[in-house]
Amino acid sequence: MYSTIIRLVNDTHPLPDEHNAAGLISLYSLTDRAFYLPPSNMLLNCDAAGALNDMCRAAGEEGGFECIITDAYRTRDQQEKKYLADLSRSTARPGCSEHETGLAVDIISTDISQTKKLSKYLRDNCHRFGYIYRYPRGREMITHMVEHTEHFRYVGVEAAGIMYEKGLTLEEYHDPSIVRPNPMEPAFIFMSIFGPRMKGHWQNWPDIDLNELKLLNPDVVGWIYMERTPIDYPVLFHREFPGYYLSHNFSDEPSAHGGIEMLDVPKDGIYILSGHHMKDFSMFMKLIEIHDERTFDVHPVISFDYEGTIYEATWFAAIIKEYSDRIPLPEGEGAEARREWLKRLKEISFATNDIIPDEKDKILICSTCTRLLDGEQVLYGVMRERQSVP
């Protein structure tokens, strides 16, 4: 039992498909409950549930807080539904959520104005009850999660005490060789600026089976993914109506978010994708953070699985164009036209770097509307086939 309660579950340590959470009980079954519950049934590991009750009682007695448990155990199916429905990607991928272990809870205050103070109280005291504050600020590059003030994980009193004393995350507890990132690293600085607004998890390249997705929607042609952003979506292609998936989602329902759409059949190794720029940071919103060389460095690569071949595209040009202007493409066929086009893109790009594709390279084009800049931002990346999938 000991080894299961400290189990590490994150984007690189998913639970197996056949995972069964052990010893679940209904939180409603606890007599003398010291917390509130929503009407839906909520399950939690029995040890974690007893400790949770003690912790919430202490929060009441010592801090005057009233706790509500807003989430506890989730089945794989529930996690999958939550993930697919949450386009801002603040939900962990199916299999990668601690909620599937039955050892994690989300706790807030009945009085919303007290929620921050309650979180602080729990952060300082949860180890006494065997819980840890799982996703602290400043460790995003280790946990691959932005701070979640409501999320607490049961690991037992012994492990929780060690992690509290030494200030360790669960990742560091399991692997003491993990090096904390240098706070001067561009990615770290970027995280501290955008982190609180960037709800999405820091995933790794997902384990996608396009054939399985095609059973749900035959218009799926690929998957697009950019690290440390919510960009982690199927790519859709409507043969008859280009633009269809900018107003319809993966499930073919009308949607303001739409999907990520491939606008045309790839020609001469040029792939054009388009997605909206949503206020909740979803779809292609994060692309507009690429606005100078520095941000080229922070999101240098976008990964694209097209019909089973995985490419990594490195940005080499970025432009803003008027809505009514066409996306700059080669004028004519042949190597000469191609070279001219690539040269021109480097000239008109508002961002610069040393990458110069040659005329044989495949090119990925990603465009998103941006009211902020009053036009459309178009990014160009040179595609390299990925050698091996880690």
Residues of this chain that bind Zn ion (CB under 5 A): 106, 151
CB of 71 to Zn ion, least distance (A): 6
Packing angle between helix 115-125 and helix 46-63, nearest 10 degrees? 120
Which sign, positive or negative, has the C-alpha torsion 203, 318, 86, 139?
positive
CB of 19 to Zn ion, least distance (A): 17
Residue nearest to Zn ion (CB): 151
CB of 154 to Zn ion, least distance (A): 12
Which helix (H) or strand (E) segment is 98 a member of?
A: none
Cite the DSSP H helix spans in the chain.
Answer: 2-5, 46-63, 76-85, 115-125, 140-143, 157-166, 170-174, 186-194, 210-216, 293-298, 334-348
Residue nearer to Zn ion on the CB measure, 151 or 338 = 151
Whether 37 contacts 113, CB under 8 Å: no
CB of 370 to Zn ion, least distance (A): 32
Residue nearer to Zn ion on the CB measure, 151 or 277 = 151
Strand order across the beta sheet in which 131-133 lies: 67-71, 104-109, 151-154, 131-133
CB of 127 to Zn ion, least distance (A): 18
Residue nearer to Zn ion on the CB measure, 106 or 359 = 106
CB of 20 to Zn ion, least distance (A): 20
CA atoms within 13 A on the CB side of 54: 15
Residue nearer to Zn ion on the CB measure, 69 or 270 = 69
Residue nearer to Zn ion on the CB measure, 106 or 171 = 106
CB of 98 to Zn ion, least distance (A): 7
Residue nearer to Zn ion on the CB measure, 151 or 286 = 151
| Residue 272 three-state SS | strand
CB of 104 to Zn ion, least distance (A): 5
CB of 322 to Zn ion, least distance (A): 43
The Cα 197–Cα 189 span in angstroms is: 14
Residue 365 corresponds to which tokens in the numbers above? 């084009």
Q: Dihedral of the CA atoms 339, 343, 349, 351 (nearest 10)?
A: 100
Neighbours of 336 (CB within 10 A): 11
Residue 97 corresponds to which tokens in the numbers above? 């959520």
Whether 203 contacts 227, CB under 8 Å: yes
Chain Cα centroid distance, residue 132: 22
Cα separation values, 89 from 29, 31, 145, Å: 33, 36, 11
